[in-house]
């Protein structure tokens, strides 16, 4: 191959997604053991040669965030010490992305710190899905690729509507490319796309445009604590429409759950959610089950075990999307052409 041999390795947080990627590429995962000593230290045993190869490491830095970050750093170091040609780091969910600036005196900027550590250890190119704060890309002095999932989530919603809700809980074949206007606009006519706050307006408006004739609304709120919100107003009309709330992540559910009730009170016929990263900590699973969503769509950037799944939750795989990106990056081809 003109750009060296490609090998994909999976961290312990992203094994299922990495397996889907190599399946789409008709390849195999790199052989590697992650070892944890009784005192919590991490070690790595790479069981095949990586010399002269282009290495892609797939590892979400989701909870337990510190443990997964440390594991990723050690894997990167091991690849370089064994003469890998180039090390690409794929973090489908990038932890510590909430802190890109100081919000009060004496604050750390932990997003910048983690970026510095990854670069220092030897990450030579980064790939992420839906950063919580897009400014984080500017913290890296290496090439970055920031992928959005709004289109694939919108396509999953369209698929759900076309099949009257009779779809599988795990969706592997949802296209990430643009589908026909006829299909998009038909669903958009009766849909209002809702941004859960002003910061998420751009993401939600992109979905509204994609659906063609969709309505658009923004929730005005304040945040008394990091994990709770108080809704002040809805800017836009939701009465008689089917609402879909678009966001980048659900952690405890404290932001998303109150919106279901208020949207129904304002006349929304149905309420859906479409979120990239299902962090799901604390009582999030039970609270989301009881929230009253007609359906909730999330991606598999974070692996959800069976005990965190329920009827009405639909996981949309980004495996083929990520596989296509990795293939193009490896061959130094344009990513934007793919769309």
DSSP calls for 251-297: SSSTTTHHHHHHHHHTT-SEEEEEEEEE---TTHHHHHHTTT-SEEE
Residue 266 predicted with pLDDT over 70: yes
pLDDT digits (tens, 9 = 90+) for 143-161: 999 999 999 999 999 999 9
Residue 296 predicted with pLDDT over 60: yes
Tokens coding 48:
């095949």
Catalytic residue among 53, 112, 221, 270: 221
pLDDT digits (tens, 9 = 90+) for 175-222: 999 999 999 999 999 999 999 988 889 999 999 999 998 999 999 876
Known catalytic residue: 221?
Answer: yes
- Residue-level pLDDT at 1: 39
Percent residues over pLDDT 70 in the chain: 96
- CA 257/CA 23 separation, integer angstroms: 36
pLDDT band at 338 (very low <50, low <70, confident <90, very high): confident
- Residue-level pLDDT at 224: 63
Residue 3 predicted with pLDDT over 70: no
Q: What domains does the chain contain, in order, with CATH numbers?
A: 6-148+321-338 (3.40.50.2020), 150-317 (3.40.50.2020)
Structural contact between residues 325 and 28, judged by C-beta atoms closer than 8 angstroms: no
pLDDT digits (tens, 9 = 90+) for 65-97: 999 999 999 999 999 999 999 999 999 999 998
Mean pLDDT, residues 119-136: 94
- Residue-level pLDDT at 198: 85
């Amino acid at each position: 191959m003109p750009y060296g041999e490609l090998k994909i390795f999976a961290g312990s947080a992203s094994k299922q997604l990495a397996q889907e990627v190599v399946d789409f590429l008709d390849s195999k995962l790199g052989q590697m053991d992650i070892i944890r000593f009784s005192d919590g230290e991490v070690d790595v045993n790479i069981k095949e040669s990586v010399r002269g190869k282009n290495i892609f490491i797939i590892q979400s830095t989701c909870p337990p965030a510190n443990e997964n970050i440390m594991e990723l750093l050690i894997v990167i170091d091991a690849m370089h010490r064994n003469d890998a040609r180039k090390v690409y780091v794929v973090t489908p969910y990038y932890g510590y992305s909430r802190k890109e600036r100081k919000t009060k005196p004496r604050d750390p900027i932990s997003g910048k710190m983690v970026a510095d550590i990854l670069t220092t250890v030897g990450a030579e190119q980064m790939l992420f899905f839906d950063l919580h704060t897009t400014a984080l890309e500017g913290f890296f002095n290496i090439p970055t690729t920031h992928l959005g999932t709004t289109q694939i989530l919108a396509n999953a919603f369209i698929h759900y509507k076309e099949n009257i809700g009779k779809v599988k809980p795990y969706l592997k074949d949802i296209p990430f490319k643009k589908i026909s206007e006829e299909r998009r606009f038909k669903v958009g006519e009766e849909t209002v796309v809702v941004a859960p706050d002003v910061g998420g307006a751009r993401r939600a408006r992109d979905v509204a445009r994609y659906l063609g004739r969709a309505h658009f609304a923004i929730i005005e709120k304040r945040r008394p604590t990091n994990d709770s919100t108080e809704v002040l107003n809805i800017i836009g009309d939701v009465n008689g429409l089917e609402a879909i709330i678009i966001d980048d992540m659900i952690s405890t559910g404290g932001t998303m759950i109150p919106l279901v009730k208020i949207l129904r009170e304002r006349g929304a016929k149905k309420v859906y959610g479409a979120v990239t990263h299902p962090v799901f900590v604390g009582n999030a699973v039970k609270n989301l089950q009881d929230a009253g969503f007609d359906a909730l769509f999330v991606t598999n950037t974070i692996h959800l075990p069976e005990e965190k799944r329920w009827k009405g939750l639909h996981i949309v795989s980004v495996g083929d999307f990520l596989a296509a990106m990795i293939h193009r990056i490896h061959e130094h081809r344009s990513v934007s052409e793919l769309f």
